[in-house]
Structure 1
Amino acid sequence: MKQKNFTKWLLVFFLCVVFTPLAHADTDPDISVSDCIGKGVDCSSKDSTKDQINEPAESTDDVTEITPTGLTAWDYIRTLLAFIFVIGLLLWLLRFMNKRNRTFDQNRLMTNLGGVPLGQHKSIQLVKMGNHYFVVGVGENVQLLREIEDPDEIADLLARYDQEGSEVRKGIMSQLYERFFSKINSGTNKETSDFSSLFTSKMEEIRADRKQQIDRLKEKGSDRDG
């Protein structure tokens, strides 16, 4: 319960920090804060009077200059925080969905905990039915091989089942990373093997051609001697 409340308040904090807009205040060098608060001066009336005085001057200007506002360091920090928040939210959502699926599997009457294929349409499956665990052979028919009743063995099997689930949850990006670099390494090894085989074949051709030339020279020498 405490962990859920902490996560909730952490999300609220990040939302407030990242998505809070920045407000810019206009300043008037002729009026101070003490004049507006302590002395009861109507600052709004002075602002309106000043705006009315400046209206003719502004209307006479044909070209208005707009000062560009660049990105500040705080804007980059907010973008980085938003990116980290989104990634963390996705990871938390994935973990929550996996935990929910685990809870759903535990509450089901029958659950397949895994299996090993032994050939075409043949396998050995570990099945949980209620609080009982069975090892069955699946082929042309389903045959009960044994029932697991040892608590230590059941605990070991459940621990391995949870470990396999944690390995699956390690992330899609890491799996894609491994597959990508394995393809690159396999492609590099294939290119290296192709080059070495081509180099070897060329060397064999050169040796065979050289041997033929030597044999021809020997034949010519023997003909002259004869």
Structure 2
Amino acid sequence: MVSGWDFFKMFLAFAFVIALLYLLLRFLNKRQHGLRSNKLIQNLGGTALGSNRSIQVVKVGERLLVLGVGESVQLLSEVTGDEKEQLIELHSQLNQQTIEPSKMLGQFKWPFLKEKPEQTPKFNQVLKKEMNEMIKKRKQTFEHVEKDENKYE
């Protein structure tokens, strides 16, 4: 028959194993983050546009570049200013959430807890906004070039 003391020892052993897993995951997360931060070139993310076509945001040194990837790689834009800081901050937040042990319990759907909507913009939303602004700038540039061409005709 199982006594209260046996149950208590089993609970302590279970808590010890969970604590070891937590510490191991924390250690691995910090180690991976340290290795990632030393890279000169980092892929911050991207989105697929079709077969063998995508847009990638890449950090090279201190520069943040938007690249079109397909048959070849083309520079679409360079992100600067506040948007650069937002993208880098968003990327670091998403990286911390990938293995962070304290977030692991939040992945389970507890029936008595209500889910809170996410307040931070998703990477795809920020990328889409940046791409829309780039499209507007290109249209303005083309209109400006056409006006200049019409002046000289």
Q: Which residue of 2 aligns with 1:144?
A: 75
| SS at structure 1 position matched to 2:42 | strand
CA deviation after TM superposition for structure 1 residue 90, in Å? 0.7
2:30 and 2:88 map into 1 onto residues whose CA distance is 15
Q: Which residue of 1 aligns with 2:6?
A: 75
* 1:1-226 equivalent positions in 2, closer than 5 A: 71-150=2-81, 152-169=82-99, 170-171=103-104, 174=107
Query: Which structure has the greater CA radius of gyration?
Result: 1
CA deviation after TM superposition for structure 1 residue 72, in Å? 3.9
Give aligned-pair identity as a percent.
43
Report the count of equivalent residues.
Answer: 107
Larger helix fraction of residues: 1
Kindly tell me: are residues 87 and 108 of structure 1, through their superposed partners in 2, closer, same or farther at Cα, counting changes over 3 Å?
same
Cα deviations by residue, 1:131-178 (Å, 9 ceiling, x for unpaired): 22111110111000111221x222211221133224433439947x7x
Structure with higher RCO (Cα < 8 A, 6+ apart): 2
1:162 and 1:87 map into 2 onto residues whose CA distance is 26
Residue segments in structure 2 that go unaligned for 5+ positions in a row: 110-153
Larger strand fraction of residues: 2
2:105 and 2:72 map into 1 onto residues whose CA distance is 37
Cα deviations by residue, 1:16-65 (Å, 9 ceiling, x for unpaired): xxxxxxxxxxxxxxxxxxxxxxxxxxxxxxxxxxxxxxxxxxxxxxxxxx
1:111 and 1:124 map into 2 onto residues whose CA distance is 14
RMSD: 2.5
